[in-house]
Structure 1
Amino acid sequence: MKTRIFTVIAVTGLTTVASLLAACAAHRHVECDGDECERADYVDHAHGDAPEVTKAADPATRAALFGRVAKLEGEWIMDMTAEEIAQQGPPQTSIIKVTSGGSIVRDIMFPGSEHEMTNVYHMDGDELVMTHYCAIGNQPRMEAELNDGHNHAANEIHFQFDEVSNLTSADQGYMGEVVLTFVDDNHYMQTWKHFQGGKVTSGPVMKWKRK
């Protein structure tokens, strides 16, 4: 008889945050041979490599990367000239929030519009990772680190391309790099680069000010 392996989540009524968190620790591994099943209190890694463990960033590195982005929490509006507004329409907004126990920063760009998009920032070891959930449906992931071998300005964080998911054709474009420039507590900029068909072109430059 063929052995069947599956995972059971032993949770009754996921109606509270506490029960949802408990579910993360309540996985049970079950092996069945015919009608006889044996349960063990561990998560099965037999069908793949165990997760890679990374060393957490030291406080200074975390503060210089994640901490600077976290300070952007609040509501923002594009800082546009009268001429730009006449050409492009009213300025768009964004909402930035620190969430998930202080471990991520979520930036919702153009909320409520048909082009609404989300950027999520978090640490991965000593790197700051940003995933851009684009309105066209792909999700480029970019990484920044303090000592990447480039001479960046002190008020900038440079995100370099790492990978992109759901790229549905070879000629589909995606955002592959972005520079955050922290002007002061109430102003910052996003300078994007657009990748398509192996070529890199200049993307939008977005100037933001607090609402």
Structure 2
Amino acid sequence: MAAHATEASFAGNSAARQAFEKLGTLVGSWKPQDTPNSKLTIIFSHTANKTVLLETWMSGERQHSLTVYHLDGESLLATHYCPQGNQPRLKMEAAKTIGLIKFGFMDATNLANTEQSHQHSLSFTVPKNGTVLLRNETYLSGEGIDTSELKLVRSDKGMEP
């Protein structure tokens, strides 16, 4: 007979575990700081007994993309489900800046080669006390590098639904 856990359990207190818990503090809705009337909303939510964090991008009422964060042993992984149809997997890398969580390209599905446009890196500077969240991402293709930064502010109280 299988036992069912009532709470998520993770071994140890690794850097990956600490980063996953820090990302969990982002649960709720976020909007661009400089364009508060933007249709873009980014929603962070837990699922699977809080062992998975979802980052859902909404454009108005339409879902745009999804990134799924989860622990894999001593690693923190992010799989980005892109509107381009590929799914890059990124792995957390060591960061020297306090509060910075960064991910680098590991591999991808539905990507014939790395010359095709794909998310290649992603980072967060996680806010303290509800301040501005910085989210940076880099897309790589045969045409070069495209880097963007979003400054996000909470548009709710950060409560779990």
| TM-score (norm: length of structure 2) | 0.79
Counting matched residue pairs gives: 145
Equivalent position of 2:24 in the other structure:
70
Instruction: Say whether the 8 Å CA contact 1:80–1:91 is kept in structure 2.
Output: no
Question: Which residues of structure 2 form unaligned runs of 5+?
Answer: 3-9, 156-161
What letter matches 1:192 in structure 2?
E
Q: Distance in 1 between matches of 2:118 and 2:58?
A: 18
In structure 2, the CA distance between the partners of 1:124 and 1:78, relative to structure 1 (3 Å rule), is: same
How many percent identity over aligned positions? Answer: 25
Question: What displacement does 1:185 show?
Answer: 3.5
Pick one of 93, 106, 110 that aligns with 2:41.
93
Q: Distance in 2 between matches of 1:210 and 1:162?
A: 30
After superposition, the C-alpha distances for 1:90-132 in whole angstroms (9 at most, x for unaligned) are 251011101101100001012533x610010000111110111
* Runs of 4 or more consecutive aligned structure 1 residues displaced over 6 Å after TM superposition: none
Equivalent position of 2:51 in the other structure:
103
Structure 1 or 2: more helix by fraction: 1
> In terms of mean alpha carbon deviation, does 158-167 or 186-195 score higher?
186-195
Structure 1 or 2: more strand by fraction: 2
Instruction: Say whether the 8 Å CA contact 1:189–1:206 is kept in structure 2.
Output: yes
Pick one of 190, 194, 202 that aligns with 2:135.
190
Q: Distance in 2 between matches of 1:134 and 1:188?
A: 21
What letter matches 1:190 in structure 2?
R
Equivalent position of 2:75 in the other structure:
127
| TM-score (norm: length of structure 1) | 0.61
User: Which is higher, the Rg of structure 1 or of structure 2?
Assistant: 1
1:157 equivalent in alignment to 2:101: yes
Q: Distance in 2 between matches of 1:76 and 1:167?
A: 29
Instruction: Say whether the 8 Å CA contact 1:189–1:207 is kept in structure 2.
Output: yes
What letter matches 1:189 in structure 2?
L
Equivalent position of 1:51 in the other structure:
none
Q: Distance in 2 between matches of 1:76 and 1:103?
A: 21
Instruction: Say whether the 8 Å CA contact 2:115–2:140 is kept in structure 1.
Output: no
Q: Distance in 1 between matches of 2:102 and 2:44?
A: 19
In structure 2, the CA distance between the partners of 1:174 and 1:133, relative to structure 1 (3 Å rule), is: same
Equivalent position of 1:141 in the other structure:
89
Q: Distance in 1 between matches of 2:114 and 2:97?
A: 34
The two structures, once aligned, show a CA RMSD in angstroms of 2.4
